[in-house]
Chain A
Amino acid sequence: MPAPTRALLLIGPLLLFLALVYVLPFLGILRWSVTLPEPGLEQYRAALTDPLVRSVLWRTLRICAIVTVLSVVLAYIVALIWVRGSPVQRLVVELCILIPFWISVLTRAFGWLALLSNRGIVNGWLQATGLTSDPLTMVRNEFGVVVGMVHFLIPFAVFPLASAMRSVDERVLMAARGMGASRARVFWQVFLPMTRAGVIGAALVVFVFALGFFVTPAILGGGRSVMVAELIYLRIFQSPNWGLGAAISVLLMLAVGAMLAALLRQARPGGGS
């Protein structure tokens, strides 16, 4: 049996599974978007012109961009300590990365609510120490949503970053240092460019994940900063307009696909500059 055929046989069950649970339902959504309530592209026109939908899409993109930048920057620091820190630092960071995976996203969102709400722990502390007189509004707005999302997404960004950092040859850094380069120069001109693929990979994972976030924005945004996933949910389950919900889903899917394609091209060795 030629190698490609054998490979296809081995990967076949997975492809079949993905086709059944992803492609088939998505084709159904695609059909809804052009047939409900009546055949045509009316729902796409509505999705792109409706001020509410447009504002939600815009907010989603903005929040996702902010979350991506914050998560990747913070994850870069965490990964740096994880890969290059002392043994004790490594252990602490490892626990900080792994433990959140054991706690459900729902629990974490409520945890942030308990911390950040008007009568929450942080505000109580701020007022007790006299730093503020009135409670700061940190939930039921974009701030709360960003905090919750960044907290959830950092561990996912750490893995691609750490793997890129591990593949950096220590001797290359020594070479740079031996030529008299300062630590800052070694970082900005050698280490960071050498981990570029990891940064792109991490940004990709975080952004795509963030686009589909539902639970965290719903709880920490408190219905005031609705993101696109919540909007789709509302259109399908609360104000039954399946066609519009489906059309927004398809647009979201296309946006993610386009971004993946663009970023993957960037991440390929020798791509970009």
Chain B
Amino acid sequence: MTRAAEIGAHQIGKTFGSFTALADISMVIGRGEFLTLLGPSGSGKTTFLMVLSGFEAPTSGHLTLDGQEMTTIPAEKRGFGMVFQGYALFPHMTVAENIAFPLKVQRKSAAQVKARVDAMVEMTGLSGHAHKRPTGLSGGQQQRVALARALACEPPVLLLDEPFSALDKNLRGQMQDEMRRIHRDTGTTFVFVTHDQSEALALSSRVAIFEKGRLQQLAPPREVYERPANRFVAEFLGDINILPVVDGTVEGRAVQTPGPAGDLAIRPEYMGLSLTDPADGNAVAARLTDLTYLGAETRILLETASGSALVLHRPTADLPEGLTPGAAVWATWAPSRGFLL
């Protein structure tokens, strides 16, 4: 499959009455990209997907497909594959009939339909289930059917609306691996909506973060996590420690920061713990308030003299012996790991 397409969104706006669902969204989704639309519920990510699919018309702005105008082309003519939240399988058809439906719509010959259905059943690991109805399948299997049906016609773009939201955690991990493999095998452009940060970081080539109908940041996973564009992105993607910087000092101690003033942000994984005052390097004195053993990692809560709460994630194996709440410690970080918000 090499029909992957490029989608352009240009100043897309969408309002429902007086409610602004999307405001001024512009982006180019590259051929064969795996783009995730991430945001809390009500942030506009699903609305944007619906605009891309053609099920919702934008109030303003326009869309292009490989440079060609596509804004007014209805969903049924776009030829995109779509996986809906809750799968939206045809309950009265077998797995094979579900997958065959889009092929029959395109008037493929019976032999072509059969060959393609067999190939999709094989690719999504549904062998032996082709003659079952969706109600007889597990959540993960239904997910595969939805994926097979959406990919049956070799769509240039596959849109996925929270496809894993109904699966339990272990199955999610499995399906994520599978999704990456299928993306690699098909080469199709994937646009994937989720509210799960770790899912977005694990799957995508780029993440688009939405909040209140606006695009907050569009960048590769590592960049949005380690160099968030603003405080919302920083806090939405996981725990973050914020230390106010005044004249190049933190808690009265001179440290190396990217700038002389602002809020210094450091991810919990990048903060170290020391029982003695490190003479050189960035550090703040703090009191240990709580420890949570999580197996491979331990989550440590600290409080600085001025009352700022800090969170650290440290490998359990590296922790000093005898840490108890109340202990005086130093939280340390490499200068390159701190950024100002």
Contact = CB atoms under 8 A, between A and B. Distances in A.
Interface of A: 169, 171-172, 174-182, 185, 189-190, 193-194, 196, 269-270
> Which residue, B75, B80, B149, has most C-beta atoms of chain A within 10 A?
B75
B133 A174 contact: no
B189 interface: no
B88 interface: yes
B86 A177 contact: no
A38 to B, nearest CB: 55
A171 B105 contact: no
22 contacts: A171-B84, A171-B85, A172-B88, A172-B91, A174-B75, A174-B82, A175-B82, A175-B84, A177-B75, A177-B76, A178-B53, A178-B54, A178-B75, A178-B76, A178-B82, A179-B76, A179-B101, A180-B79, A181-B105, A182-B76, A194-B90, A196-B92
Contact of B92 (A171, A175, A193): A193
B135 A269 contact: yes
Contact of B89 (A172, A189, A270): A172
A233 to B, nearest CB: 43
B19 to A, nearest CB: 19
Nearest to A169: B88
B77 interface: yes
Given A172-B89, A193-B92, A270-B133, A180 B105 contact: yes
Contact of B90 (A172, A177, A182): A172
A179 B105 CA distance: 7
Contacts of A189: 101
> Which residue, A171, A176, A179, A185, has most C-beta atoms of chain B within 10 A?
A179
Interface of B: 53-55, 75-80, 82, 84-86, 88-92, 101-102, 105-106, 133, 135, 149, 153
B90 A190 contact: yes
A225 to B, nearest CB: 39
Contact of A180 (B92, B106, B135): B106
B55 A194 contact: no
Contacts of B76: 177-182
A171 B153 contact: no
Contacts of B102: 179-180
Contacts of A175: 82, 84, 88-90, 149
A169 B75 contact: no
A181 B105 CA distance: 6
Contacts of A193: 92
> Which residue, B77, B84, B89, B106, has most C-beta atoms of chain A within 10 A?
B84
Nearest to B54: A178
A172 B85 CA distance: 10
6 closest residue pairs by CB, A with B: A179-B102, A171-B88, A175-B88, A193-B92, A171-B84, A172-B88
